[in-house]
């Protein structure tokens, strides 16, 4: 893990309310009262910090964690030695011993994965548990329905591994009207019937909030824990977790007609006041959030940020380490005192910041750069 950058020498900062993550996790239980609720903590807990997140959730009673890679699995395992850590992908013959020694639970996504894990268990005489992932319509990872049937019907193969979870993943649950979800649910019910007695998990955040996982043993929410939208158009009662800010580096006068930033993509329509902040695309302000001068900007205006009570637009192209704000409407006295601007957090929803860059809250959260000072509240 990279060491935290001290605030004094950082030009961006991320404040994470760890207590809010725990409260969001508790809120999710209400949607699936008879299920256990796991926490998906892949990608450094969606950029919020895996270690802090796992410690807090394990302390609150969360017993199941999902990560994307074996490396993340080792981190989670070290942080919560008593919890079950499922690794969604990345098993190879060469790294299977690492899973086994660390007590990681591999999610097996193919017949090759099954053979790989079965061989490892046989060779070592150690039948470590695993999870089986069956694809029900997303076509990303997982056994096909036919492969699952063949596997379940083959006594020898079936007993070569010890699955403690059967899972599938929803492709469209963020859109409550999408017809694919119903099909995935009924296909997953067929899969469950092939593995009677094995706990099942289907719902991500959107599925959990929509009650899709109600009859299943385990829900697997990620994004809702971190206070971003899971179901389009609503926070579903979750509270924001992250605040992302950048330091104001300089304020300058720009005359009418002058350009700002690379390509002079913004031309001042009037005499303007421009503030340059110390965060750019290397820090998580996507270049597509530029006020002008990049292809996506033909679709909408650029992002707006919050400066001491004023909403101010990003103008011109976002640079690697900085970007420009038109602060002409902010009173001089306010500008003189202001040190930081908020990109998202208390005044701007992460989903709004993301939408202005043509993307989603997931990408905005996971895209926050390593140069940001990280501050944790209520951890």
Ligand X SMILES: *Cc1c(COP(=O)(O)O)cnc(C)c1O
Asked whether position 371 contacts ligand X by CB under 6 A, the answer is no
CB of 106 to ligand X, least distance (A): 13
**How far apart, in whole angstroms, are the C-alpha atoms of residue 347 and residue 136?**
39
**How far apart, in whole angstroms, are the C-alpha atoms of residue 120 and residue 163?**
14
Nearer to ligand X, 99 or 281 (CB): 99
Which part of the chain contacts ligand X (CB under 6 A), choosing from 221-229, 262-270, 335-343, 350-358? 221-229
14, 58, 209, 223: which one binds ligand X (CB under 6 A): 223
Nearer to ligand X, 72 or 304 (CB): 72
| CB-CB contact of 7 with 375 (8 Å) | yes
The one catalytic residue in 99, 149, 226, 262 is: 262
- Catalytic, 78? Answer no
Asked whether position 23 contacts ligand X by CB under 6 A, the answer is no
Alpha carbon 131 to its chain centroid, in Å, reads 22
Asked whether position 222 contacts ligand X by CB under 6 A, the answer is yes
Within the chain, strands assigned E span 12-17, 36-37, 39-40, 64-67, 84-87, 105-108, 129-133, 162-167, 200-201, 218-219, 242-254, 259-260, 266-267, 272-277, 304-307, 310-315, 323-326, 340-344, 373-377
Query: Judging by DSSP bridges, how do beta strands 12-17 and 242-254 pair with one another?
Result: antiparallel
Asked whether position 62 contacts ligand X by CB under 6 A, the answer is no
DSSP state of 69: S
Asked whether position 108 contacts ligand X by CB under 6 A, the answer is no
- Catalytic, 262? Answer yes
21, 62, 88, 338: which one binds ligand X (CB under 6 A): 88
Site string for ligand X, 153-182 (x = CB under 6 A): ----------------x-------------
Q: Closest-CB residue for ligand X?
A: 222
**What's phi and psi for 121, nearest 5 deg?**
-65, -40
CB of 220 to ligand X, least distance (A): 4
Q: For ligand X, how many residues bind (rule: CB under 6 A)? A: 11
Asked whether position 220 contacts ligand X by CB under 6 A, the answer is yes
**How far apart, in whole angstroms, are the C-alpha atoms of residue 297 and residue 358?**
9
Asked whether position 365 contacts ligand X by CB under 6 A, the answer is no
CB of 356 to ligand X, least distance (A): 21
| CB-CB contact of 83 with 76 (8 Å) | yes
**How far apart, in whole angstroms, are the C-alpha atoms of residue 44 and residue 29?**
23
Nearer to ligand X, 10 or 230 (CB): 230
**How far apart, in whole angstroms, are the C-alpha atoms of residue 228 and residue 272?**
34
Asked whether position 205 contacts ligand X by CB under 6 A, the answer is yes
Residues assigned a catalytic role: 42, 262
Residues that bind ligand X (CB under 6 A): 40, 42, 88, 169, 204-205, 220-223, 230
């Amino acid at each position: 893990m990279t060491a935290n950058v001290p605030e004094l020498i950082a030009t961006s900062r991320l404040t994470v309310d760890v207590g809010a993550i725990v409260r969001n996790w508790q809120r999710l239980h209400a949607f699936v009262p008879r299920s256990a609720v796991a926490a998906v903590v892949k990608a450094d807990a969606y950029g919020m910090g895996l270690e802090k997140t796992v410690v807090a959730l394990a302390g609150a009673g969360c017993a199941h964690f999902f990560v994307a890679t074996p490396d993340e699995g080792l981190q989670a395992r070290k942080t919560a030695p008593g919890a079950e850590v499922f690794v969604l992908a990345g098993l190879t013959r060469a790294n299977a011993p690492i899973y086994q020694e660390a007590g990681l639970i591999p999610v097996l996504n193919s017949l090759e994965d099954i053979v790989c894990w079965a061989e490892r268990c046989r060779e070592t005489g150690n039948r470590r548990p695993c999870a089986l992932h069956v694809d029900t319509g997303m076509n990303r990872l997982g056994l096909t329905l036919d492969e699952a049937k063949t596997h379940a019907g083959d006594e020898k193969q079936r007993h070569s591994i010890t699955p403690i979870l059967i899972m599938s993943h929803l492709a469209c649950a963020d859109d409550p009207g999408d017809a694919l979800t119903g099909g995935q649910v009924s296909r997953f019910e067929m899969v469950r019937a092939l593995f009677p007695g094995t706990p099942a998990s289907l719902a991500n955040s959107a599925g959990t909030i929509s009650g899709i996982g109600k009859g299943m043993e385990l829900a697997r929410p990620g994004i809702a824990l971190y206070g971003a939208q899971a179901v389009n158009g609503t926070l579903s009662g979750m509270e924001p977790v992250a605040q992302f800010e950048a330091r104001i580096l300089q304020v300058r006068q720009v005359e009418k007609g002058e350009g700002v930033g690379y390509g002079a993509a913004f031309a001042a329509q009037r005499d303007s006041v421009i503030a340059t902040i110390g965060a750019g695309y290397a820090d998580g302000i996507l270049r597509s959030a530029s006020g002008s001068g990049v292809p996506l900007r033909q679709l909408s205006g650029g992002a707006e940020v919050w400066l001491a009570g004023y909403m101010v637009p990003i103008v011109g192209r976002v640079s690697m380490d900085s970007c420009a704000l038109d602060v002409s409407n902010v009173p001089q006295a306010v500008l003189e005192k202001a040190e930081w601007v908020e990109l998202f957090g208390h005044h701007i929803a992460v989903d709004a910041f993301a939408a202005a860059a043509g993307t989603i809250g997931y990408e905005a959260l996971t895209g926050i750069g390593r140069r940001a000072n990280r501050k944790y509240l209520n951890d």
